[in-house]
């Protein structure tokens, strides 16, 4: 019988790939992980720059409601008590996010939930009977004109390079909206940042697993398919199929990093720029994720851009056109017997980290059940 060298070849050392590699290795399978980048951890990768863990592909805050997922990540890192509370800068004003009593007070000088509810009702009544079909309608119906104008419209246009009328409503429903003085950006039960950075978490997660970096699956597909009984692929699904039905669109980002010789640049990890005077959407000051006391600081300005070949594809664009195209690739993928697809790029979904981990758990459970392990 033709025995292959590995039970599983796992393409991608981000959360989806790394979680599968850990679970399958611990269940007795022989796994090889490859990644085309020069490092592990996918988009969660952090690099230690002068003592500060810099989130090289954008700010990553871990949050989940799922105890199983929380317990799992806590096996590989200790998490701190960081709570994400971004600030929005619109013209010369600053506002608290997400939309809460602090924001309403800053916008309208209201002081009680009753006054705030009345103000929101006054602003949203004319949209009451619409069923939102796009982001703009959804936002207006939820929060009304003032918040849409000052905190959503320009930011969203910069972020997605599209008019909010061309974007799906679900994107804005990610953000909490509450009538308490609570600036926590997430509603989840568990939240934090891995102390020492995400890369350290991934080093522990991938301990004793064979990894080849700087290794592109697509460039040597037949060779890699021949190496293992089964493949788990976490790259872009359209690239896997050589773009045969056409290219899916992604939103990409460019990060401009600066080391500055001051202790505290903006007093917060995340500041969003919600007017259109700057092309960047946010500035991240990395030391605040871990309450750093260094004498210097590192910031990253985040510039959104349309994805072009050789850019990193960050965000799937889940509009109708792209979702339809994705379904064609998905149909093809579902026919594969030895290749499984997962993660943000293969499932073409706007997943957070905990959701990617949940999706990897589901796939591994299926594999283990099928093999009776
Ligand atoms: P990735 O991390 O992208 O990993 C896929 C890996 O596959 C990559 O390393 C890639 O190099 C490799 N690969 C692709 N093609 C090939 C190939 N042909 N050959 C070899 N290797 C290949 N989530 C949160 O929960 N909280 C946040 O605060 C948060 N903030 C975010 C901010 C930004 C700016 C972005 C873009 C995302 C954010 N996310 C956040 C989402 C989070 O990054 C993803 O959910 C998660 O990283 C997805 O993991 P993944 O394994 O699916 O993909
Ligand atoms: N958003 C906005 N103003 C903000 C922050 C977010 O309009 O100050 C909108 C924007 O359309 C964005 C979406 O809400 O794409 C989701 O925001 P989130 O912070 O969850 O985005 P991510 O961190 O995934 O980029």
Pick the atom of ligand 1 nearest to 58's CA. Answer: 34
Residue from 62, 61, 76 nearest 19 by CA: 76
Question: Residue 318 to residues 142, 151, 226, 302: CA-CA distances in angstroms?
Answer: 21, 22, 34, 21
Ligand 1 centroid to residue 352 C-alpha, Å: 9
Pick the atom of ligand 2 nearest to 153's CA. Answer: 7
d(CA 141, CA 138): 5
d(CA 12, CA 233): 7
Q: Which residues are catalytic?
A: 174, 178, 251, 282, 302, 350, 352
Residue 149 DSSP SS3:
helix
Residue nearest to atom 47 of ligand 1 (CA): 43
Task: Find the residues whose C-beta lies inside 6 A of ligand 1.
Answer: 11-17, 34-37, 42-44, 58-62, 216-218, 234-235, 253, 314, 343-345, 351-354, 356
Residue 230 DSSP SS3:
strand
Mutate to test the pocket of ligand 1, among 234, 239, 310, 357 (most ligand atoms within 8 A of CB): 234
Residue nearest to atom 30 of ligand 1 (CA): 60
Q: Which ligand is nearest to the CA of 96?
A: 2
In this prediction, residue 2 carries a pLDDT of 67
Residue nearest to atom 23 of ligand 2 (CA): 59
Write out the DSSP string of 76-94: T--B-------EEEETTEE
Residue from 280, 244, 285 nearest 268 by CA: 285
- CA dihedral over 199, 200, 206, 207, signed as positive or negative: positive
pTM, to two decimals: 0.97
CB 199 within 8 A of CB 211: no
Ordered mean pLDDT values, 10 residues apiece, the chain (373 residues): 88 98 98 98 97 98 98 98 98 98 98 98 96 96 97 97 94 93 98 98 98 98 96 97 96 97 98 98 98 98 93 91 97 97 97 98 97 87
Residue 4 DSSP SS3:
coil
d(CA 175, CA 155): 14
């Amino acid at each position: 019988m033709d025995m292959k060298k590995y039970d599983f070849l796992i393409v991608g050392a981000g959360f989806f790939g790394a979680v599968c590699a850990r679970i399958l290795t611990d269940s007795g399978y022989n796994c090889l992980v490859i990644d085309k980048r020069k490092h592990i951890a996918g988009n969660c990768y952090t690099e230690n720059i002068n003592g500060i863990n810099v989130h090289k592909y954008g700010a990553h805050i871990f949050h989940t409601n799922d105890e199983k997922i929380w317990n799992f990540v806590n096996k590989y890192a200790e998490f701190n008590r960081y709570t994400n509370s971004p600030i929005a800068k619109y013209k010369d004003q600053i506002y608290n996010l997400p939309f809460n009593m602090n924001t309403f007070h800053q916008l309208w000088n209201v002081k009680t939930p009753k006054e705030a509810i009345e103000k929101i009702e006054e602003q949203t009544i004319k949209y009451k009977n619409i069923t939102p079909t796009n982001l703009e309608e959804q936002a207006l119906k939820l929060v009304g004109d003032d918040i849409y104008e000052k905190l959503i419209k320009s930011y969203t246009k910069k972020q997605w390079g599209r008019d909010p009328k061309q974007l799906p409503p679900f994107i804005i429903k990610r953000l909490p909206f509450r009538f308490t003085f609570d600036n926590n950006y997430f509603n989840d039960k568990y939240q934090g940042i891995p102390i020492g950075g995400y890369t350290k978490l991934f080093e522990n997660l991938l301990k004793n697993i064979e990894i080849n970096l700087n290794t592109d699956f697509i460039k040597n597909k037949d060779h890699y398919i021949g190496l293992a009984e089964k493949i788990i692929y976490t790259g872009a699904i359209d690239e896997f199929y050589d773009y045969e039905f056409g290219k899916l669109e992604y939103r990409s980002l460019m990060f401009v990093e600066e080391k500055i010789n001051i202790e505290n640049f903006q007093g917060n990890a995340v500041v969003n720029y919600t007017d259109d005077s700057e092309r960047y959407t946010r500035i991240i000051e990395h030391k605040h994720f871990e309450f750093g006391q260094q004498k210097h600081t590192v910031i990253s300005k985040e510039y959104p851009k349309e994805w072009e070949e050789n850019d990193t594809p960050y965000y799937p664009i889940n509009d109708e056109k792209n979702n339809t195209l994705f379904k064609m690739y998905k149909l093809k993928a579902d026919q594969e017997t030895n290749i499984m697809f997962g993660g943000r790029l293969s499932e073409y979904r706007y997943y957070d980290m905990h959701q990617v981990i949940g999706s990897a758990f589901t796939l591994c459970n299926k594999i283990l059940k099928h093999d009776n392990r």
